[in-house]
């Protein structure tokens, strides 16, 4: 039985679901995401085997729902034929829900939209395909077919029947689900779904839903061009229907409108999150500048107080010296009244010269102390600038590839999944990520990049060594295409000799199959060769 546990709630605005902007006091709804863990059986389908049948069973939200899925295919693609029955309309879960979507969930928690289940008299069927090999299947209620993230309204999930072909893996797959009501942005009172007219296709209702929900999210402001295109496509569909057209004349622009509106909503969410992050970063920078000013003022006040104290000591010492000299002179005059005026003048001259020498020595010592303080401040400022640049660079790189900081420098991890299996050929996703990394690194010509290849211990050690070298070299060759100077890049392959996890488990071997990119440079305070040479 499925177990649903809420493990984290991220609210981009805690006290209110809306942010007030300065340009005309505009109200912009922000986005909430709920991350949940759900235990669902995943099946590792065997390529080339006979058709595998898997049951779909209803959850507590729709216990009467039933279905069956047939999965077949060879390595690289699996065909899916899903049939469901005794389904209730999706609108029972909220006015924003109009349809159902079937999803494939990988053991790592990544969700793939397999297609829409349009219910007719409680039944639906879909024929689709996926390149995944190991996955679980769930069915969720959604506002339209083009969603990219499943909602938490999970009405069906796969159940392994006796004799199922394939390796069954029960996994703790944590994946992001949109909490019920998230599409309305807590503004349900502002959302009114237009009733679907008799004879109008469900695709038209979904398009209306998608455009309305994108507008609620603020797409008119954050993704105006994409949102305008969605509204134009919806208007085309509405016009075609008003003119009595049927079939693709209505459904094609309607489905395009839903897809485009979803794109506009996702762009809006990303840009809202970027605004919040930028505001937080600006506030943090302002706080740091205020702290720096307070520290500098404190240093200056301390130095001034110290100088006044030393001046007072010098004046007191001078007064004491003068008093002592006068007393000596009085005693000397009493003892030697016969001393000549020349001797008295010589003694006075010696006293004055001694005072001048003492003052000069004190001034020189003070100047040395001031120069030392200035040198320390300059060194601290330079180190701070290096740390800030390194932190910004790590944040930029971490948005593309997992990046950590070490004594060796910033280390980016290129996982095994970005290469074709047992090959040094980069996938399209890898080339896209490395192109973005190259664009960032090219803006810092003083940086040095090292590519180090690693494998697990499966297979021949010599072949693993050669594979690690070829993968590191493939990254080097791709960086050359991105205008990163070759003199700033070198490669190495270590085969299976430097694991970061145990090779006794599939997860450990997956972590060991990687290419690490080490970024160093004087400007970020990490010099090539510093720190341990380990991974």
Pairing of strands 167-177, 124-130: unpaired
Query: What is the predicted pLDDT for the residue at 508?
Result: 92
Mean pLDDT of the chain: 81
Q: What is the pLDDT of residue 185?
A: 52
Q: d(Cα 431, Cα 412) in Å, to the nearest integer? A: 15
CA-to-CA dists, residue 431 to 401, 428, 482, angstroms: 12, 5, 10
Residue 180 pLDDT class (50, 70, 90 cuts): low
Average pLDDT, stretch 158-170?
Answer: 69
What one-character DSSP code corresponds to residue 88?
A: P
Q: How far is CA 142 from the centre of its chain?
A: 26
Q: What angle do CA 312, 317, 320 make, to 5 degrees?
A: 125
Write 460-464 long-range contacts (CB < 8 A, 24+). 461/495, 461/496, 464/495, 464/496
Q: Which of 226-240, 373-387, 411-425 has the lowest mean pLDDT?
A: 373-387
Cβ atoms of residues 136 and 172 within 8 Å:
no
Token pair recorded at residue 249:
């004349």
3 state SS for 325-352? HHHHHHHHHHHCCCCCHHHHHHHHHHHH
CA distance 169 to 334: 112
Q: What is the pLDDT of residues 23-47, one digit of tens each?
A: 444 433 333 444 455 677 788 887 7
pLDDT in tens, 6-19: 333 323 333 233 34
The SS3 assignment for 253 reads helix
Please report the pLDDT score of residue 237 as a whole number: 85
pLDDT score at 452: 92
Nearest to 370 by CA among 323, 421, 434, 300: 300
pLDDT of 516 strictly over 80: yes
Give mean pLDDT, residues 485-501: 83
Nearest C-alpha neighbor of 150 from the set 110, 123, 205, 93: 110
> What is the sign of the dihedral through the CA atoms of 272, 275, 281 and 283?
negative
pLDDT over threshold 50, residue 290: yes
Query: Of the ranges 8-17, 37-46, 257-266, 494-503, which one carries the lowest mean pLDDT score?
Result: 8-17
Q: How far apart are CA 324 and CA 321, in angstroms?
A: 5
Q: Report, as an integer, the average pLDDT of 282-296.
A: 91
Residue 50 has pLDDT above 60, yes or no: yes
Angle at which helix 224-242 crosses helix 202-217, to 10 degrees, equals 150
What mean pLDDT do residues 234-246 have?
A: 84
**Chain segment 96-153, per-residue pLDDT in tens:** 899 999 999 888 888 899 999 999 999 999 999 998 888 889 999 999 988 988 888 9
Q: Strand, helix or coil at 453?
A: strand
| CATH code 3.40.50.2300 for 392-524 | no
Cβ neighbours for 517, distance < 8 A, ≥ 6 positions apart: 401, 411, 412, 413, 414, 437, 449, 450, 451, 452, 475
CA distances from 405 to 501, 514, 525 (A): 18, 17, 11
Flag whether pLDDT at 197 surpasses 70: no
Q: Please list the residues that pair with 142 across neighbouring strands.
A: 99
pLDDT at 241: 83
Residue 211 has pLDDT above 50, yes or no: yes
Q: What is the pLDDT of residue 392?
A: 87
Domain ranges of the chain: 4-193, 392-524
Instruction: Give the 3-state secondary structure of residue 95.
Output: coil
Residues 338-383 have pLDDT tens digits of 877 777 778 888 888 888 888 888 888 888 788 877 877 776 787 7
Q: Which residue has better confidence, 231 or 36?
A: 231
The answer, yes or no, to whether residue 56 has pLDDT greater than 60, is: yes
The answer to whether 17 touches 29, Cβ cutoff 8 Å, is: yes
Q: Maximum Cα–Cα distance for the chain, whole Å?
A: 137
Task: Please name which of 61, 37, 49, 69 lies closest in space to residue 137, comparing C-alpha atoms.
Answer: 69
Q: What's the pLDDT at 514?
A: 92
Chain centroid offset of residue 62 CA? 36
DSSP code per residue over 165-225: SSEEEEEEEEEEEBPTTGGGTT-GGG--PPPPPTT--HHHHHHHHHHHHHHHHTHHHHSHH
With 0-12 / 13-18 / 19 or more C-beta atoms within 10 angstroms meaning exposed / middle / buried, residue 256 is buried
Q: At what angle do helices 428-442 and 461-481 cross, to 10 degrees?
A: 60
How many residues make up the chain in this entry?
A: 535
Indicate the fold that domain 4-193 takes in CATH.
Immunoglobulin-like (2.60.40)
Least confident residue range of 199-208, 263-272, 304-313, 473-482 = 199-208
What does the alpha-carbon distance between residue 80 and residue 491 come to, in Å, rounded to a whole number? Answer: 43
Residue 323 pLDDT more than 70?
A: yes
Which residue reads 């709920």 in tokens? 34
| Buried residues in 21-31 as b, exposed as e (16+ CB within 10 A) | eeeeeeebbbb
């Amino acid at each position: 039985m499925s177990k649903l546990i809420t493990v984290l709630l991220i609210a981009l605005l805690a006290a209110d679901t809306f942010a007030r902007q300065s340009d005309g006091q505009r109200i912009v709804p922000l986005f909430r995401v709920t991350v949940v863990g759900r235990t669902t059986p995943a099946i590792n389908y065997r390529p080339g085997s006979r058709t595998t049948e898997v049951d779909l069973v209803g959850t507590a939200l729709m216990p009467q729902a039933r279905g069956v899925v047939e999965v077949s295919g060879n390595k690289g693609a699996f065909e899916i034929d899903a049939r469901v029955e005794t389904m209730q309309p999706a609108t029972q879960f909220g006015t924003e829900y109009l349809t159902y979507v079937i999803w494939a969930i990988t053991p790592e928690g990544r969700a793939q939209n397999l297609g829409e289940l349009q219910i007719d008299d409680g039944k639906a069927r879909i024929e689709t395909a996926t390149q995944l090999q190991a996955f679980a299947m769930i069915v969720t209620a959604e506002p339209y077919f083009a969603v990219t993230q499943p909602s938490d309204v999970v009405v069906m999930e796969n159940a392994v029947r006796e004799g199922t072909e394939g390796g069954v893996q029960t996994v703790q797959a944590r994946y992001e689900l949109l909490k019920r009501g998230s599409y309305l942005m807590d503004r349900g009172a502002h959302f009114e779904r237009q009733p679907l007219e008799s004879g109008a296709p469900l695709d038209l209702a979904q398009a209306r839903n998608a455009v309305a929900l994108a507008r609620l999210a603020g797409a008119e402001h954050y993704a105006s061009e994409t949102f305008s295109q969605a509204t134009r496509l919806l208007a085309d569909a509405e016009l075609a229907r008003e003119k009595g057209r049927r079939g693709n004349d209505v459904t094609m622009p309607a489905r395009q409108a839903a897809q485009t509106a979803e794109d506009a909503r996702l762009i809006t969410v990303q840009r809202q999150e970027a605004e919040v992050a930028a505001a937080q970063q600006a506030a943090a920078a302002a706080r740091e500048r205020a702290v720096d000013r307070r520290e500098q003022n404190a240093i200056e006040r301390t130095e001034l107080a110290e100088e006044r104290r030393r001046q007072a000591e010098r004046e007191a010492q001078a007064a004491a010296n003068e008093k002592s000299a006068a007393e000596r002179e009085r005693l000397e005059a009493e003892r030697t009244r016969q001393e000549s005026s020349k001797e008295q003048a010589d003694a006075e001259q010696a006293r004055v010269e001694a005072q001048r020498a003492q003052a000069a020595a004190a001034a020189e010592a003070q100047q040395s102390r001031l120069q030392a303080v200035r040198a320390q401040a300059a060194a601290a400022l330079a180190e701070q600038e290096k740390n800030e640049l390194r932190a910004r660079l790590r944040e930029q790189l971490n948005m593309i590839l997992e990046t950590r900081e070490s004594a060796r420098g910033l280390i980016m991890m290129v996982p095994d999944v970005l290469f074709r299996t047992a090959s040094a050929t980069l996938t399209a996703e890898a080339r896209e990520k490395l192109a973005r990394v190259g664009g960032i690194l090219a803006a810092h010509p003083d940086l040095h990049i090292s590519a180090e290849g690693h494998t697990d211990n499966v297979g021949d050690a010599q072949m693993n060594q050669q594979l690690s070298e070829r993968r590191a070299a493939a990254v080097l060759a791709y960086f050359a295409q991105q205008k990163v100077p070759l003199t700033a890049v070198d490669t190495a392959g270590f085969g299976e000799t430097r694991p970061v996890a145990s090779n006794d488990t599939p997860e450990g071997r997956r972590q060991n199959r990687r290419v690490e990119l080490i970024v160093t440079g004087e400007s970020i305070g990490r010099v090539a060769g510093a720190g341990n040479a380990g991974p």
